[in-house]
Amino acid sequence: MSMLEIVAVIISFLGIWLTAKRRLLCWPVNLLACALYFKLFLDVRLYADMVLQALFGIAILYGWIVWARGKQASGEVVVQPLHPGRAAAGLASGAIGAAAIGWFTSHYTDAALPWMDATLSSFSLVAQYWTARRHAASWLLWIVVDMLYVGMFAFKQLWLTAGLYGAMVALAALGYRQWRQTRQGVARAI
């Protein structure tokens, strides 16, 4: 456990908590967390997750813009439904991305866990996109991905990061509950 990992865990936890609470401040906090984890994953040779952090940086900027535009007059971020066709397309994209990234990293890098790292990275991008689009279903995908990340980080002996991802499972459950309640409240008001 390094000081870098400790700081990354604290900043990441704060960013996810702010996201679950639908606060715009989540975006700059999550951007900082991405930068910290980019360096950490480079150090432990989890290259797909390192690249994922760079892609998350781009997705965070996108999400920040979308959320800023998707606020109500009260300042609350509006939750949007995820249609089944779009959900299927997102999951299919995640699977294709996992296969492509896994093949590349298993053949051309010294990645520690190329297939697992690639799969989790690819589906994390799908979940991040869904979060940026304000879909409550993003939290369900985060729950699955984060549970698997706990095992991968424990295997790599990144204990604090494994603990963070365990906490992120709980935060994702909280986020899903809150976003779903918000969405149901909006549906009743219409």
| 140 has pLDDT over 50 | yes
Which residues are registered as beta bridge partners of 71? Answer: 77
Which residues are registered as beta bridge partners of 43? Answer: none
Residue at token pair 């996810």 = 16
Element (H, E) at 60: helix 47-69
Range of weakest confidence among 71-75, 161-165, 172-176, 186-190:
186-190
Residue at token pair 């219409």 = 190
- Do residues 122 and 94 make contact, with C-beta atoms less than 8 angstroms apart? yes
The per-residue pLDDT for range 142-156, each reduced to its tens digit, is: 999 999 999 999 998
| 46 has pLDDT over 90 | no
pLDDT, position 165: 93
Length of the chain: 190
pLDDT, position 137: 95
Count Cβ atoms below 10 Å from residue 98 Cβ, excluding itself: 22
Q: Which amino acid, one-letter code, is at 174? A: L
- Position 7 confidence tier, pLDDT thresholds 50, 70, 90: very high
| 23 has pLDDT over 50 | yes
- Do residues 52 and 124 make contact, with C-beta atoms less than 8 angstroms apart? yes
Residue 146 or residue 80, greater confidence: 146
| 98 has pLDDT over 90 | yes
Mean pLDDT over all residues of the chain? 89
CA 52, 145, 162: angle at the middle one, nearest 5? 85
Residue at token pair 């390192």 = 50
For residue 2, the 8-state DSSP code is -
pLDDT, position 22: 85
CA-CA distance, 45 to 110, in Å (whole number)? Answer: 7
SS3 25: coil
pLDDT, position 29: 97
φ/ψ of 135, rounded to 5, equals -95, 125
Q: What is the arithmetic mean of pLDDT over 117-121?
A: 92
